[in-house]
Amino acid sequence: MSELHERHRAVMPSWLALYYDDPMEITSGKGNRVTDAEGNTYLDFFAGILTNMLGYDVAEVREAVERQIARGVVHTSTLYLIRGQVELAEKIARLSGIPDAKVFFTNSGTEANETALLLATYARGTDQVLAMRNSYHGRSFGAVAVTGNTAWKNSSLSPLNVHYLHGTDRDHPAFRGMDDAAYTEACVADLREVLATAVAAGGPAALIAEPVQGVGGFSMAPDGLLAAYKEVLDEYGALFIADEVQTGWGRTGSSFWGIGNHGVVPDALTFAKGLGNGFAVGGVVARGDLMDALPANGLSTFGGNPVSMAAANATLDYVLDHDLQANADRLGRVVLGGLTPLADLPTVGGVRGKGLMFAVDMVDPETGAPAPALAARVLEEARRRGLLIGKGGLRGNVLRMAPPLTLTEDEAHEGRDALADAVRAVDAAARG
């Protein structure tokens, strides 16, 4: 164990997970590659959990931050006008497609989701919320309450009355073998049953859903299901919150927001992670009447601070100016096309993706049961091949990859081939 690892274990909580048998310290980065403390360089296919959206040491972002710091003002608070905050809010409001949209900035996706839940429950006058099974929305009290994955729920206590819906569990025995249309019909029927039997009179405040479930292993509902859910919600006057913390800014390729693949505009949309390209920024964009309705004062001490706003404005401009959504769509097809044949291996339960979000399920070659130990072995094998990837899923057996949106075609081939080689090596070893 390294000296730094020993110090980490002594002062950091035991539940703060570290990747790899021998955890690594990343000390520098350039482009889409990082270097560890021992001088090893890796192609990064996880991007700080989808946060380093443009990669590392991007001149446009670095220079914007340096200009702001050189002015001597790194913080003022929302009690004062912040030009960069207003400029970024204008861009996001326009891009959201939400009518008369207003934006509130926070420090993280967790805070953004808390704000959206506050808006919805106040507007509807109820603590009843619908969420998706296998979901993840953050680590705070309210965000944990609407998280549908027990591996990330530290408490059964809750400020909300939550009911969970189907939508990403096609492997459940009740749905196995259904096509998209049949599965969507079954899920909508179940939603109506939940509303009739479990939700008190007046209906729920909102449904909160990730268009692609991040921690859930990049599981996703069939395109159109969330629109079908919203049609039912509209009958009750309930709101729809799209959690775009991992799916926003063109990452899914086919749509700038993940929810666009369902053909629906939400009442509120939360964002974070990639927008700051490593700087802390999150927020919620919502209908103006929802945002303005809160009766008490509010502020965010660090949300929307000048330095983060400089980074976020430069990042978003870069995404738009370089059409990185189109890059995600094109190179996502390159990567996924090369990974799809892995599904024929006995240790691979499935391969899926949308844009530059793709996943491989690792399973026991004999029983087909989820195999988190094999997923952990693939992480190690990928690292040996100079590739950083992530893992997740309800049972911890999913390899998940989301490289920077600035990925080049050569890097797409390199990372794809390294991952495929790592999976095949683990498959061969598992089968003896």
The answer to whether residue 1 scores a pLDDT higher than 80 is no
Give the tens place of pLDDT for each residue, 136-147.
999 999 999 999
Distance CA 306, CA 233 (A): 38
Percent of the chain, pLDDT > 70? Answer: 100
Question: What is the H or E stretch that residue 360 is in?
Answer: strand 358-362
Question: Given pLDDT bands bounded at 50, 70 and 90, which one contains residue 68?
Answer: very high
Mean pLDDT, residues 365-375: 97
Rounded to 10 deg, the angle between the 225-236 and 180-197 helix axes is: 20
Q: What pLDDT score was predicted for residue 432? A: 80
| Residue listed under structure tokens 């929802």 | 290
How is residue 390 written in tokens?
């992530």
Give the tens place of pLDDT for each residue, 240-280.
999 999 999 999 999 999 999 999 999 999 999 999 999 99
Distance CA 164, CA 166 (A): 7
Q: What pLDDT score was predicted for residue 348? A: 98
Mean pLDDT, residues 14-21: 94
DSSP string, 94-134: HHH--TTEEEEEESSHHHHHHHHHHHHHHHHT--EEEEETT
Give the tens place of pLDDT for each residue, 289-341.
999 999 999 999 999 999 999 999 999 999 999 999 999 999 999 999 999 99
Mean pLDDT, residues 93-113: 97
Q: What pLDDT score was predicted for residue 238? A: 97
Paired strand residues for 155: none
Give the tens place of pLDDT for each residue, 106-138.
999 999 999 999 999 999 999 999 999 999 999
Percent of the chain, pLDDT > 90? Answer: 96
Mean pLDDT, the chain, as a whole number?
Answer: 96
Q: What pLDDT score was predicted for residue 353? A: 97
Q: Coil, strand or helix: which one is 373? A: helix
Q: What pLDDT score was predicted for residue 163? A: 97
Paired strand residues for 102: 286
Distance CA 24, CA 40 (A): 10
The amino acid occupying position 328 is A
Mean pLDDT, residues 14-41: 96
Q: What pLDDT score was predicted for residue 339? A: 98
Length of the chain: 432
How is residue 8 written in tokens?
């980490």
Paired strand residues for 208: 131, 241
CA dist list (Å): 317 to 38, 153, 271, 353: 35, 36, 16, 26
How is residue 34 written in tokens?
């990082």
Among 361, 348, 422, 345, smallest CA distance to 395 is for 361
Distance CA 108, CA 400 (A): 21
Give the tens place of pLDDT for each residue, 224-236.
999 999 999 999 9
Distance CA 199, CA 203 (A): 6
Number of Cβ atoms within 10 Å of the Cβ of 6: 9
Among 245, 298, 254, smallest CA distance to 276 is for 245
Q: β-strand 219-220 against 212-213: which pairing, if any?
A: antiparallel
Number of Cβ atoms within 10 Å of the Cβ of 298: 10
CA dist list (Å): 419 to 30, 45, 338, 386: 21, 10, 10, 10
Backbone angles phi, psi at 235, to 5 degrees: -65, -25
3-state DSSP helix/strand/coil % of the chain, to nearest 5: 40, 20, 40
CA dist list (Å): 260 to 101, 214, 232, 269: 17, 17, 18, 12
Q: What pLDDT score was predicted for residue 346? A: 98
Distance CA 75, CA 78 (A): 9
**H helix intervals, 359-431:** 372-384, 409-430
160, 114 contact by CB (below 8 A): no
- Let me know the angle formed at the C-alpha of 304 by 302 and 309, rounded to the nearest 5 degrees: 125
